[in-house]
Structure 1
Amino acid sequence: MFLKLMTSDLPRLSSYRKLRTYLMICAYNTGAGNVSRAFIGKSRLSEPFSKINSFSPNEGFKHLVRNLPYESTQHYLVRVNKRMPLYR
């Protein structure tokens, strides 16, 4: 369900493909509401898009690693990102 919510709003999200990938990785692990919470402090899925759009992929990655509500998801994003070349 949360992946559907995230993908249905991808056109409103940043045009940066890499940043969208980071958002999807985090949403898969912790849920879209917690990804929203990392950006706006609330789990409302309709509100974080303008803030997300203000980040470059690198800034967004750093923001997620610092602000996701669960340390396990912060580590998950770092691990998956490091291993991305192996998944292709």
Structure 2
Amino acid sequence: MDTNKKNYWKQNLKYLTILLSIWFLVSFLCGILFADYLNQFMLGGFPLGFWFAQQGAIYFFVILIFVYVFLMNRLDKKYKVDEL
């Protein structure tokens, strides 16, 4: 594998690691482990921990998908592997 492909894949793995870490933090930590603490705060009339577990995590997941698409399109153009 040439250097260009290795660098592309290395950057892709970096993006995946960061985004999956955010996914883990939002879904597991905010929705489960810290739910009791977060329930002290209200968002839209609901306890924040409940909101993260029921709705907030889904919003974050969709945002992460759009962020990943944006980052990968930029990376594709940088390494000239984008679609025409």
Provide TM-score, normalisation by structure 1: 0.30
Select the structure of larger CA radius of gyration.
2
What's the TM-score once normalised by structure 2's chain length? Answer: 0.31
Higher strand share: 2
